[in-house]
Structure 1
Amino acid sequence: MEVTDVLIESFGNWLITLGYADSTVYTSKRHVNDFFFYLKEHEIRKLEKVKAETIIAYHNYLQERKNKRQTGSLSENYIISNINALKRLSKYLQETEQGKLSIEIKCKGNQSHQKSILTKEEVKLLYKACDHSILGIRDRAILGIYYGCGLRRSEGIALNVSDIHLGKNLVHVRKGKGSRERYVPLSLSVKEDLENYIYVARNQILSFKNQKQEALFLSMRSKRISENALLLRIHKLKEAASITKEVGLHSLRHSIATHLLQSGMKLEEVSQFLGHSSLESTQIYTHLAHEVSL
């Protein structure tokens, strides 16, 4: 079968029929178009001529290709998104009996992301595992920051009490990736959990040592909490909730991104929410949102 613009357009219509998000349809068509351009440059005019080694060579090409928008090479997320678009094309060709495209490339990054994505029910179980003790109240606040606000591991640890603007329903992330600042909205439930932690549990923790501390999340010694201590609490919640998946601080961030896209939020809005510098980093969640919902 010859590579044509008509094929790309019909592939896009097929994705729309299956219910893929508009952003996924757009990026998939763009990635497939880039792949076809690569084939033409290598004198491959028909899909029957595409072999397993052709796909491997294209994957290697992507890994070595320079980023057109910024310095450096293409991000791993962008490459994963590209290869997954080709996998969708392969499925489209098979189901419409137009040919076969063997994609043997396994994207480890995508697989690890998908394994760590929690369902909304599993998130509810984590919240349900939080008791009414000082640690339990702090656990709910931790879930609020890492799931409800989608912060990165280091961003949450670096938060100070002054960064939580309860009156404005905002969290000020001062130390984001690449030294970028941003404001993240607080939902009503997350706001209530943070209020309860700050004015009840956190004050009790501070009273143990009778000292002042600007850090939002405190250890029981009234010091800024460590990454290991946070991970230990998440692990305890996971066990109490009887969740078998690998659950960490970053998987909470992956999960909220996926759930927001499933709820209909635009890719650009999710990108801003997560503090991504470009849409490339957010695109990985578009197909995850579809696959997790199946």
Structure 2
Amino acid sequence: MDPNVNNSLTLFIEYLQIEKNYSQYTIEHYHHDISEFFMFMTEQSISSIDDVKYLDVRIYLTKLYDEKLARKTVARKISCLRSFFKFLVRERLVQDNPFALAFIPKAEKKLPEFFYEEEMDALFHACETETSLGQRNKALLELLYATGMRVSECSQIRMKDLDMYLSTVLVHGKGNKQRYIPFGSFAHDALQNYIDNGRKSLLSKRDTPNDYLFLNFRGGQLTSRGIRLILDKLIEQSTLTGKIHPHMLRHTFATHLLANGADMRTVQELLGHAFLSSTQVYTHVSNEYLRKTYNTHHPRA
């Protein structure tokens, strides 16, 4: 294969890092999807990036469907390659974008899963606060539900990001975007108890200083994976059945706000969504939430 093929990928990755300021996680996805297409080019004996035609794109789409990939996955791969070739056209490395006319399948519309208020109560009751880890877990759960932040954002919070006087936290979101999110009295009290007691106890288990808010049992930074394991354990200890996924508390936060009268623009800002369309899905969820509440509590439902 022409060495310029790999050079084009290197240039594109630099463009994503420097000009687009994409996260490392997003860049890895781009790199993986484009590298997979390069393997397809080798299978099809396409040696130059400029030799890729629309017919090759059609064959590649057929290959993806034959692999029984989800529509969302196929859409991501095609969108990635479309951006890649658009960049190459801009840099005059190729003449045309063969993915420009490629059909991107619409993703299946699945409503986000969330907890009802009584389910959240069961989760909170599963938190013991007698131990340092219990105090941490209660503060963690309260903050996630109070702010709707992503698990990955929560693991990155440092002590300096927390303003206990104003009850706000500075969150570092996707693409290095920052936003301030307020939290309520329940989260404030749980955080204060954890900071004054549990965190100090956990921090004493290591010699080097650590500025992260949430610590593991060794006094180091609590990772996203660690947070997920804690949430799984809380589900097991509660009266709830089923599994919890990382975004479920985020979905619950947005759904409960909209169901109780919050406007969508405010929820968009709190969630850190770049586009309002990303937030609009919660209007359908909150309508379902209101319908269930009505059917449960109205005497003539």
| Paired amino acid for 1:171 | V
1:153 aligns with 2:158: no
The alpha-carbon deviation at position 162 of structure 1 amounts to 0.9
Q: Secondary structure at the match of 2:269?
A: helix
RMSD (CA atoms): 2.5
SS of 1:283 mapped into structure 2: helix
Q: Which residue identity lines up with residue 154 of structure 2 in the other structure?
A: G
- 2:110 match: secondary structure: helix
Counterpart of 1:13 in structure 2 is none
**Where does the alignment leave 5 or more consecutive residues of structure 1 unmatched?**
1-58, 65-70, 73-104
Q: Could you say which residue in structure 2 is the equivalent of 1:170?
A: 168
Q: Distance in 1 between matches of 2:230 and 2:216?
A: 11
Do residues 191 (structure 1) and 221 (structure 2) align? no
In structure 2, stretches of 5+ residues that fail to align are: 1-70, 77-81, 84-104, 292-301
Larger Rg, first or second structure (1 or 2)? 2
User: Aligned partners of 2:106, 2:127: CA distance in 1, in Å?
Assistant: 37
Q: How far apart are the structure 1 equivalents of 2:252 and 2:266? A: 16
Q: Secondary structure at the match of 2:180?
A: strand
Length-normalised TM-score, structure 1: 0.61
Distance across 2 between alignment mates of 1:157 and 1:228 = 9
Structure 1 position 253 matched with structure 2 position 254: no
Shift in CA distance, 142/149, structure 1 to aligned 2, threshold 3 Å: same
Instruction: Work out which of the residue numbers 262, 267, 270 in structure 2 matches 1:270.
Output: 267
* Matches for 1:14-163 after TM superposition, within 5 Å: 108-111=108-111, 113=112, 116-132=113-129, 133-163=131-161
Kept in 2, the 8 Å contact 1:163–1:172? The answer is yes
Aligned-pair distance for 1:218?
0.5
Give the secondary-structure state (helix, strand or coil) at the position aligned to 2:170: strand
Provide the identity percentage: 33
The structure-2 alpha-carbon separation of the partners of 1:106 and 1:292, relative to structure 1 and needing over 3 Å to count, comes to farther
Correspondence for 1:286:
283
Aligned to 1:225: 222
Contact persistence 2:151–2:227 (CA under 8 A) = no
- TM-score, normalising length: structure 2: 0.60
* Superposition deviation, residue 106 in structure 1: 9.8
Counterpart contact for 1:169–1:191, Cα < 8 Å: yes
Cα-to-partner distance string for 1:114-160 (whole Å, 9 max, x where unaligned): xx311011111111000022111111111122211111121101100
The equivalent residue for 1:93 is none
- What is the CA deviation profile of residues 92-115 of structure 1, one whole-angstrom value per residue up to 9, with x for unaligned ones? xxxxxxxxxxxxx9964524x2xx
| 8 Å Cα contact 1:110-1:284 kept in structure 2 | no
> Does structure 1 conserve the Cα–Cα contact (< 8 Å) formed by 2:167 and 2:184?
yes
Letter in 1 for 2:164: L
* Structure 1 segment 206-225 matched on structure 2, within 5 A: 206-225=203-222
Q: Which has the higher contact order (CA 8 A, sep 6+)?
A: 1
Distance in 1 between residues matched to 2:234 and 2:243, nearest whole Å: 12
Is the Cα contact below 8 Å between 1:258 and 1:289 reproduced in 2? Answer: yes
Contact 2:145-2:249 at 8 Å conserved across structures: yes
Equivalents in 2 of 1:143, 1:118: separation in Å? Answer: 13
CA contact (8 A) 1:146 1:249 kept: no
Shift of 1:264: 0.4
Number of positions where the alignment pairs a residue of Structure 1 with one of Structure 2: 193
- Following TM superposition, the consecutive aligned residue runs of length 4 or more in structure 1 with deviations greater than 3 angstroms are 105-109
